[in-house]
Structures are given as structure tokens and as C-alpha cells.
């Protein structure tokens, strides 16, 4: 029972490299489950793109090549053992937690997300506090929302630029390369860096395909019960046991829709996926797979644990 990600390697790499080449100041992001590819897969590619790489937390400092500087995006209350990574601080509490560490930090700026970060009137106080704590402030960072459009996101950045020291680079996110290039032209005194994650690795989803094995198929009668929760079977048909479950991050989609598809049709879930298996139901007479066939899996790669990657040319 396997969840597989099929990737057309050459086309995917061509997209990744073209996207990176379009941005002056690009920083690749490799975090979480490596956007479904695995961090160990993405880090060598990120190494060929830039000298810096953004990771999610201090627990994701593995697989990074020598000579590449990891930049940790999420503030930590327990610093790493070495001072090679650049950490992020967004409050006095974050700075105090790093006291005695003596490494480099980015100061997080508050955006409309209101997740982490200082307000404009808190910025210089926090920078001074970081200096007294022995930290080397090497830049600022803002994380922009997915909501809205590039115009609104650029407006947020420009509202901040009047408060920032041009000597400190500003790291930003969630802008397309064209909007970022315009921002750079309009503000030549500032050094701007653009983090790219989803747009870099998932920018063209036609190169990737997610699917799972059918492990078994069982005949069932209407009004019988099946599953962990003894769900009543709605009609005569077949239970399709798919090797993808909650352990892989597989869950119903919004509105309770099934993420499983076969022969161009959505396969209803008998009950929510559990551990390594999903139980789909196909009524009698509808196209039904056999053990060893595969079903398409509709899931975000960033929250899916893939068992195998099938690289194709």
C-alpha cells in the first residue's frame, strides 16, 4: 500500500530553474515535508539556486549543504547548538530566549497576518534590545498574506519601507517575480530578497501527479455495515481499500468531499480515512478498480506524506 508522487523530472526542473532565474535576490524555501518531495530531495536543488535557504524551524536544519546559510523562518524559544543558522525574532520574548546565543537574526515585521512581528513603533527598540543581548541583526523580514493581490501586498511593504534602515536587507514573500522586480526598481536604496516556496516547487502542477494503490476490493450488500465506525452501506456495491490514510495526511476535502478519483469519477468515502487505509465505496455497475490498480489522490502536497517518488523523464 503506497502513496506515490509521479514527477516529470526534466520539465519540473526546467520550471524551477526558470522561476529562480527570473528573480534577482531569490531565496528558496525548503520546509515541512519538502513540499511533498522531501527536504533531502529539494536541498541539493536549492543549493544550486542560492547561497541561502529558508527552513521552517530549528528542527529542519538537516540535509543542508556546506556553504549554504539556513534562515529559520519561525521564531524559536530554544536556539540551536551552533550559530550558523540565521534565526528570526519578532518580540522581546524571542530575543530574551536567545540571550547568550550570539548568532545572527532577522527581525520579523508585523503584517496584516498578525502572526509574528513588531509594529513600526516597536522596531528600533527591539533592534537595540537584540544588540544588547549579543545578537547580530542582519536584516528584517515580512510574511505577507495569501489573501488579496500583489498590489495590496506591495502596499504593505511600501508602508514599512519608510521605517526601515536601507542598510538592512528586507526579506519578503508571496509576490510574483514581476511585482517584485517593480518593487526593486521603485526602491533602489533598499536591498530586497524574495523567498520562494510554493511558486518555485509547485508553480506548474502539470509536471506532478499524486496517486495511491488499490490494496483490495470487497463486495458488500446494501444496509450491511463496514468500517471502524460500522457505517451503513448505502447500496449494493464494492468497498475499495486504498493504501492512503490519515498517516499520509489524507483526509476529506472541504465540504466532506472524497479525495479519491477513479475513471474520471470521485469515489465516495465510506468513512474518514484512518491510518494507512481509506475505504471508498463504489455502487454496483460503476467502474471499479481491482487490487493493484491505482486511484488519483486529490490532496495538497505540503500536507501529504509520500511513500515513493516516481521520477520520469
pLDDT at 9 over 80: yes
Long-range contact list for 247-251, CB < 8 A, 24+ apart? 247/275, 247/276, 247/305, 248/3, 248/276, 248/304, 248/305, 248/306, 248/307, 249/299, 249/303, 249/304, 249/305, 250/3, 250/212, 250/278, 250/297, 250/299, 250/304
Q: What is the mean pLDDT of residues 48-57?
A: 97
pLDDT at 1 over 80: no
pLDDT band at 265 (very low <50, low <70, confident <90, very high): very high
Q: Where are the domains of the chain?
A: 8-201, 207-312
Q: What is the mean pLDDT of residues 113-132?
A: 96
pLDDT of residue 313: 86
What does the mean pLDDT of the chain come to? 96
CB 37 within 8 A of CB 309: yes
C-alpha 5/C-alpha 305 separation (Å) is 10
C-alpha cell belonging to residue 104: 545572527
C-alpha 135/C-alpha 142 separation (Å) is 19
**What angle, 0 to 180 degrees and rounded to 10, lies between the N-to-C axes of helices 177-186 and 150-161?**
30
pLDDT of residue 137: 98
pLDDT of residue 272: 95
The string of DSSP codes covering 119-144 is -HHHHHHHHHHHHHTT-EEEEEEE--
Cell 508602508 found at = 159
Domain 207-312 grouped into CATH 1.20.950.20: no
C-alpha cell belonging to residue 294: 491505482
Domain 8-201 grouped into CATH 3.40.190.10: no
C-alpha 84/C-alpha 103 separation (Å) is 7
**Secondary structure class of 72 (helix, strand, coil):** strand
Q: What is the mean pLDDT of residues 289-308?
A: 96
- For the chain, what is the radius of gyration of the CA atoms? 24
C-alpha 176/C-alpha 183 separation (Å) is 11
C-alpha cell belonging to residue 53: 535557504
CB 281 within 8 A of CB 237: yes
pTM, rounded to two decimals: 0.92
Tell me the HSE value of 281 on the side-chain side, using a 13 A CA sphere. Answer: 21
Amino acid at each position: 500500500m503506497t502513496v506515490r508522487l509521479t514527477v516529470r523530472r526534466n520539465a519540473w526542473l526546467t520550471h524551477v530553474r526558470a522561476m529562480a532565474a527570473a528573480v534577482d535576490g531569490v531565496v528558496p524555501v525548503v520546509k515541512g515535508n519538502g513540499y511533498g518531495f522531501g527536504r533531502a530531495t529539494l536541498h541539493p536543488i536549492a543549493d544550486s539556486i542560492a547561497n541561502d535557504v529558508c527552513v521552517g524551524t530549528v528542527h529542519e536544519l538537516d540535509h543542508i549543504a556546506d556553504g549554504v546559510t539556513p534562515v529559520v523562518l519561525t521564531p524559536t524559544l530554544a536556539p540551536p547548538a551552533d550559530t550558523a543558522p540565521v534565526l528570526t525574532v519578532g518580540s522581546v520574548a524571542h530575543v530574551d530566549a536567545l540571550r547568550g546565543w550570539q548568532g545572527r537574526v532577522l527581525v520579523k515585521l508585523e503584517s496584516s497576518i498578525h502572526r509574528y512581528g513588531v509594529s513600526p513603533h516597536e522596531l528600533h527598540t527591539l533592534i537595540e534590545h537584540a544588540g544588547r543581548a549579543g545578537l547580530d541583526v542582519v536584516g528584517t523580514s515580512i510574511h505577507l498574506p495569501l489573501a488579496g493581490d500583489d498590489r495590496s501586498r506591495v502596499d504593505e511593504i511600501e508602508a514599512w519601507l519608510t521605517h526601515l534602515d536601507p542598510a538592512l536587507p528586507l526579506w519578503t514573500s508571496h509576490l510574483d517575480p514581476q511585482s517584485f522586480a517593480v518593487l526593486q526598481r521603485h526602491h533602489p536604496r533598499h536591498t530586497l530578497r524574495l523567498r520562494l516556496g510554493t511558486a518555485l516547487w509547485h508553480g506548474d502542477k502539470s509536471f506532478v501527479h499524486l496517486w495511491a494503490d488499490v490494496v483490495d476490493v470487497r463486495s458488500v450488500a446494501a444496509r450491511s455495515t463496514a468500517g471502524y465506525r460500522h457505517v451503513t452501506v448505502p447500496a449494493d456495491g464494492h468497498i475499495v481499500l486504498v493504501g492512503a490514510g490519515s498517516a499520509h495526511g489524507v483526509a476529506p476535502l472541504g465540504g466532506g468531499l472524497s479525495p479519491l478519483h477513479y475513471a474520471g469519477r470521485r469515489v465516495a468515502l465510506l468513512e474518514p480515512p484512518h491510518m494507512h487505509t481509506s475505504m471508498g465505496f463504489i455502487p454496483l455497475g460503476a467502474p471499479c478498480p481491482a487490487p493493484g490498480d491505482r486511484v488519483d489522490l486529490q490532496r495538497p502536497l505540503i500536507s501529504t506524506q509520500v511513500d515513493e517518488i516516481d521520477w520520469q523523464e
